[in-house]
């Protein structure tokens, strides 16, 4: 796992043809807006979260975020334990995000 600042995360993401954006927030948080093209898997789903993560393509590079960067860091650690080699945590989470969001309402 690697913690990246918003600038590093976005720069690396834009130049990564193998990138997947992963939002690990709750449904209520996602309803307030989501980074475009992100897939959503709520980390609070427990074993269901682990099962859904484990089913993802481990050859991809995952750019993971939550509200503040804490849960996404935990998610990156779980991903590492499951055999993912490239999981990047967005420091500061969506609270510090300055890019576009898609409204989920």
4-10 long-range Cβ contacts below 8 angstroms, 24+ apart: 4/88, 4/89, 4/90, 4/91, 5/91, 5/92, 6/90, 6/91, 6/92, 6/96, 6/97, 6/98, 9/63, 9/65, 9/88, 9/90, 9/91, 10/99
Residues designated as active site: 66
């Amino acid at each position: 796992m690697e913690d990246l600042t918003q600038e590093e995360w976005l720069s690396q993401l834009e130049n990564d043809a193998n990138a997947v954006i992963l939002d690990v927030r709750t449904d209520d948080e996602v309803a307030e807006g989501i980074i475009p093209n992100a897939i959503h898997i709520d980390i609070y789903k427990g074993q269901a979260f682990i099962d859904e993560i484990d089913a993802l393509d481990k050859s991809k590079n995952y750019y993971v975020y939550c509200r503040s960067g804490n849960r996404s860091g935990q998610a990156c650690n779980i991903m590492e334990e499951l055999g993912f080699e490239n999981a990047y945590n967005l420091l500061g989470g969506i609270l510090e995000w300055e890019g576009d969001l898609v409204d989920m309402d």
